[in-house]
Structure formats: C-alpha cells, structure tokens
Amino acid sequence: MCGRFSVAISRQEMETYLKETFGIDSLDETIDLPRYNVAPGQNVLSVINDGKQYRAGLLKWGYVPSFSKPEDTLYKMINAKAETLRERPAYINSFKHRRCVVLADGFYEWHREGKRKTPFRIVPKQEKVMPLAGLWNVSTNPDGSKLYTCTIITTEANRTLSDIHDRMPVILVGEARELWLDPQNTDPVKLSSLLKPAAEDYLKTYKVSVNVNSSTNEGPGLIEPLE
C-alpha cells in the first residue's frame, strides 16, 4: 500500500520539474513545499491533462466515488489495486477519463516483525520527483461545494521492497507518465499495462525515525537515515 509520502523538495525545484516535464509555467502560491509527512485526508499536489494542457493543483487524498456521500467514504479509499481497477464500479469511470499523477519524492512503508513496525523511506536513486499513478473524481459536499479527491494506485512490490512490504505505489517513468495522462487513451488493456512495479534498480530504501508514525509530525528530521 501507500499510506504516507513526502515531497521534500523546494518550491523552486518543483516549479523547474513541472516546467521541464509538463510545460507548466507556475505553481499556485497557496501550495506549501517542502512537505515531509503527507497523510490521507490532506491535499496532495497532482497533475492532470484537461485535453488541452497539463494542469497542476491540489486534490484531497481519499477518493470519493460518484455514488457515495463524501462523509461516508472520505479518507478511506486512499489506495486502489491495479489488478482490480477494471472490476471496481467505484473506479471504472475515473480509470477511463479521470487519471492523474500524484507528485512525491519518496514514500514510507512499515516492516512488521511481530508487534514491532519499523518505518522505511523509499526514494528514487536518481530522480528528484516520483510521479505516482492515481485516479481522481469530483463529488458534491452537503453545502453544494465541489470536492476533488484522489487515490494512489498500487501494485505488487518489486524485489527491492518485497522484504519490507508486499505492495508499492505505481511509479510512472518516462513515456508511461504521458500515456497515463493522455485523455485520448481510454483502452483499459493499454492503461493496465502501465501499472507495473518499478524496475529493480530504480529505488533505494533506508530506515527512518519512528517519529514519522504520527501524521502530526513534520520536519526534515523525518527523512534522515536512521543509523
């Protein structure tokens, strides 16, 4: 699964990435960076393609299906399994028409040994930003306002992560990123082919402080390697 991640880069670094990768010229001033402990229910920086251009903005992490009330499902559907996307009524429409990438620079996973859980941070060896495959949706709050939510897609873990956890987020590298966001690409078979584990040599892992266990904790100390 993917239940916590970081965007521990500067605003300037993110703006450079968005410009070079998606041709996005600016980032809204209300978007705070860096972030060291992003949790479900929070707004996450995401990119979509509206059919004319790429757009970066905030989506609330916790997908709300079109047939549900926000208060019933908000924060619960933070992950969607790649293997069952085409079978889940909650995701069928978004899988075809509302795909996004959630921008991170690393994610956390906990290795369980008995009652003890050890937190690890997983980051790319080379890249500064990891585009995570996601789906988004829009629903209506009781007050009539619109709520834009998302989920992060997971797949089976590669060998780099398999000793820590059996699942990992789908990381879209290179051409896969553009193919995933292309609104003209609605072929479920082609889309599903993009949802695979990262290459074995793409990621590295290291232990971090148990302070990351609480979503209320923030700060650069959370991403420091634990000796």
**Alpha carbon of residue 37 to chain centroid:** 13
Ramachandran sector of residue 51 (left: φ over 0; alpha: ψ -120 to 50; beta: rest): left
Task: Identify the CA nearest to 99 among candidates 171, 56, 148, 47.
Answer: 47
Of 29, 100, 109, 127, which residue is the catalytic one?
109
Longest dimension (CA), the chain: 51
Count of C-beta atoms within a 10 Å radius of residue 126: 8
Catalytic: 109? Answer: yes
Closest by CA to 12, choosing from 1, 27, 2, is 27
Token pair recorded at residue 68: 């549900």
The active-site residue out of 2, 15, 156, 227 is: 2
Q: Determine the Cα–Cα distance for residues 113 and 127; give it in Å rounded to an integer.
A: 31
Take residue 104 and report the two structure tokens written for it.
């991170």
CB 9 within 8 A of CB 34: yes
Would you please indicate which residues are annotated as catalytic (active-site) residues?
2, 109
